Amino acid sequence: MTNNKISVIMLTYNRETLIGRAIKSILNQTLLDFEFIIIDNGSSDRSGIIADEYALIDSRIHVIHRKCGNIGSGRNVGLDVANGEYISFIDDDDYAEPDFLEFLYNLVCENHAEISICGAMDKAFDKKLLMSAEEALIELMRRKYYNMAFPTKLFTRELKKTIRFPENDKFDDISQMYRLLASAKSVAYHGLPKYTFYRHEGNNSAWTVNHSLLTKETLDEYLCAYRERTKWLSKYFPSSSAAWCYFEWSFMISMVEKIDRYRLTDCAGLQTAMLQELSRHSYEFLNGGYIQEFEKEWLKQYVEY
């Protein structure tokens, strides 16, 4: 295989009713020089068969069938064979606009950046930013313009070496995206919507839209990942350690409020632990310069300090 401008990687598992839309959205791209690596993650429905059928009609598609594993291990398989100058990801239940790849490619090249980020239909802004790694991380944590998800982003081939997904975790985006942004010299953002995240109850992140779906196991994994993120970033960018701590506490107080509002009794033990942590750090949380007014109200309502 010769080098392509972009390697698009998609993991699929039991999405026979949705995968065709995702594949067609990539095949209809205005930028033609790409390879499309589809990893069938042990599907028991027709997802892998559908991918093979598309591969027969378009040589840019390469399908890899494997036994079922987690998302991270499947994405690593795609990274191992990718040969593009840049790497992009799409999820099998989402879809991209026809100029998705061209937009991201032009954005990264015109700004001499190592990562480019576009908007999505649920996070669309006609705003441009050229950021350092530290600035891009602050915006990532704020979640106003873009989120942790790997789709909507394009990475240089050199950064590919730093991308390695954990093979035991369920939510690999939250444990890897900040590390990847931290390794970039510059990040270019233009928030025009070029991608659609399709939210449904079978989606791994469905609970972020419907909080009543939050489970103790999911919350515990998020809390562990955020604790590790705070420690890692505080060492990597110590001048912004107050910000990294704030974003962890912000997540905690938000979860405390949602557990109460949705009466998620399964998460009561974690709620108690978060309240204790917030009580210990209430002064820093209140006086660090980042806290929002609604967070102050939640702190007064739930936390003893």
pLDDT at 202: 63
- Using CA of residue 42, residue 47, residue 48, residue 51, what is the dihedral sign? negative
Q: Can you say whether residue 109 is alpha, beta or left, with left for phi > 0 and alpha for psi between -120 and 50 degrees? A: alpha
Fill in the DSSP letter of residue 111: T
| Lookup: tokens for 153 | 């982003």
- Intervals of the chain under pLDDT 70: 1-2, 200-209
Q: Which long-range contacts (CB under 8 A, 24 or more apart) does 55-60 make?
A: 58/27, 60/4, 60/27, 60/34, 60/35, 60/36
pLDDT at 159: 85
pLDDT at 208: 63
* Residues 38, 52: Cα–Cα separation, whole Å: 9
Match domain 6-196 to its CATH number in 3.90.1150.10, 3.90.550.10, 3.40.190.170, 2.40.30.60: 3.90.550.10
pLDDT at 1: 43
Q: Where are the domains of the chain?
A: 6-196, 210-302
* Residues 13, 22: Cα–Cα separation, whole Å: 13
3-state percent helix, strand, coil for the chain, nearest multiple of 5: 50, 15, 35
* Residues 166, 73: Cα–Cα separation, whole Å: 7
pLDDT at 200: 64
